[in-house]
Structure 1
Amino acid sequence: MTSLLATLSAGVVFGVALAAPPGPMNAIIAEESVVRGWLAGFKAGLGAMSADAIFFVLAALGVVAFVDRFPLVRAAMIGVGGLLMLYFAYGAAADVRSSFRPGEGPTDESDPRVGTGFRKAFVLALTNPYQILFWLTIGVGLLQSGTVDILAQTPYVGNTLAGLLVVETGSPALVAGFFGGIVLWITGFPAALVGAERRVEAFAPLVAGLSAVVLAGFGVVFLAESVAVLA
């Protein structure tokens, strides 16, 4: 029982470590949260996680490896992902002005676009080659016997955390904990943002603006990489 709980806990840490760093998914979650409320932000996170679940199944079946074998397919996906990010960046920039609201903060029920965050994050995640690459390598290996350096996989700071948390793979508890960690993040992150928005009047437009910058930046990088692959 102790070993099972330890594996489950390690999976939770893994999920949070991968979900928390800044990136296009968190930019969408942040924008949806401060503009339309906690439920919208949670649904956006759920969209990204749903794509991860699909990739997990496809990677386990060997289907996702198809993308890795065909550079043109990979380049097309990167290009589509870049265009989508630029499009969503434009939407986030448009939300900057509308997010200036006197008085009450965002409400989950008042905005008919509460469900759009799920579709945005889901489609963007499906065209994200880096998520596919993760499931081709580390992700699918979670069910295979071996070990994984949990914190070393954390984006941006993995090198400094290497060796701190190494666990055995091949346990369903590790996968369950991994997705549990993602759920923990997509629940708590929007709640923290909404709480801050209710206290600071300019917080919502600031977050919407930063989300637009992050999405635009990743969009340009993706398009440049797509062109480089095709060249």
Structure 2
Amino acid sequence: MSVTAVSLLAGGLFGLALAAPPGPMNAVIAEESVVRGWAAGAKAGLGAATADGVFFLLALVGVVGVVERYPALRGVMVGAGGVLMCYYAVGAARSLRSSFVDGDSASDASAGFRKAFVLALTNPYQVLFWLTVGVGLLEPGTVDVFAEAGVASLAGSVVVQTGSPALVVGFFGGIGLWIVGFPAALVAARQRVEALAPAVAGLSALVLAGFGVAFLLDAAGTLGGVVG
């Protein structure tokens, strides 16, 4: 397999692995999917992925690094993210009695996109990702997967080219696969379990509230250190 093909596949797997774990973004996608349908869930996922695209461009020109140099700016971002998550948690809690709907209105779907996009832009975890791992993805070079893992007998068999278009395309392709497949799986489940909507909405509210409180505490600590 060529280096380009390996890089494309590695990027896809990495993007999928990054998008799949539970967190505030998937909580929003889940809530939109089960309350408003697949289109709303996919558009919410697209909102989060669009924010990654923005961070990718900012990392490409070095702007994202400003957040690392100014703790007060990071604290404000984290605090804003915490407030938004708590606000969205209230909205999710209000959806507890909602059932599934047969149609998706354009306004609802657009609202999900905006919600996820704004939330992702204030998510310090995504900013920190692009400050660290993301920068490594953009720097030209190669990574010998098995050599790095200490498997000398297979060294050279799987080499990923960092900084290559194939790696970046694969990365965003993996994210795209998740934001399309995850809502589809949730909507498919609604055909079997009508009670899934309020259950997912409730879980989303808890996840968002938990992250929101954690972000607010983090922001208070950061800004308190700057002021002190």
Structure 1 position 176, deviation (Å) = 0.3
The whole-number CA distance in structure 2 between the counterparts of 1:203 and 1:143 is 40
1:140 aligns with 135
Q: Residue 22 of structure 2: SS of its match in structure 1?
A: coil
The whole-number CA distance in structure 2 between the counterparts of 1:13 and 1:230 is 37
The whole-number CA distance in structure 2 between the counterparts of 1:82 and 1:124 is 9
Distance change (3 Å), C-alpha of 1:193 and 1:64: same
The whole-number CA distance in structure 2 between the counterparts of 1:22 and 1:149 is 29
2:85 aligns with 85
Distance change (3 Å), C-alpha of 1:78 and 1:135: same
Cα deviation, 1:58-78, whole Å, max 9, x if unaligned, reads 111011111111111100000
Cα deviation, 1:184-221, whole Å, max 9, x if unaligned, reads 00000000000011210111110010000000000000
2:65 aligns with 65
**1:170-185 aligned within 5 A:** 170-185=163-178
Say whether the 8 Å CA contact 1:39–1:108 is kept in structure 2.
no
Say whether the 8 Å CA contact 2:6–2:159 is kept in structure 1.
no
- Which among 91, 112, 117 is matched to residue 112 of structure 2? 117
Q: Residue 114 of structure 1: SS of its match in structure 2?
A: helix
Say whether the 8 Å CA contact 2:86–2:212 is kept in structure 1.
yes
TM-score (norm 2): 0.88
Aligned-residue Cα RMSD (Å) equals: 2.0
Structure 1 position 147, deviation (Å) = 4.9
Say whether residues 1:190 and 2:189 are aligned partners.
Answer: no
Distance change (3 Å), C-alpha of 1:31 and 1:6: same
- Which among 201, 207, 220 is matched to residue 214 of structure 1? 207
Structure 1 position 55, deviation (Å) = 0.4
> Greater CA deviation, 166-175 or 37-46?
166-175
2:20 aligns with 20
Distance change (3 Å), C-alpha of 1:4 and 1:111: closer
1:48 aligns with 48
Q: Which runs of 5+ in 1 are unaligned?
A: 100-104, 151-161
Q: Which runs of 5+ in 2 are unaligned?
A: 152-157
The whole-number CA distance in structure 1 between the counterparts of 2:159 and 2:90 is 41
Q: Residue 167 of structure 1: SS of its match in structure 2?
A: strand
The whole-number CA distance in structure 2 between the counterparts of 1:212 and 1:148 is 40
Query: Quick one: percent identity of the two aligned structures?
Result: 65
Q: Residue 102 of structure 2: SS of its match in structure 1?
A: coil
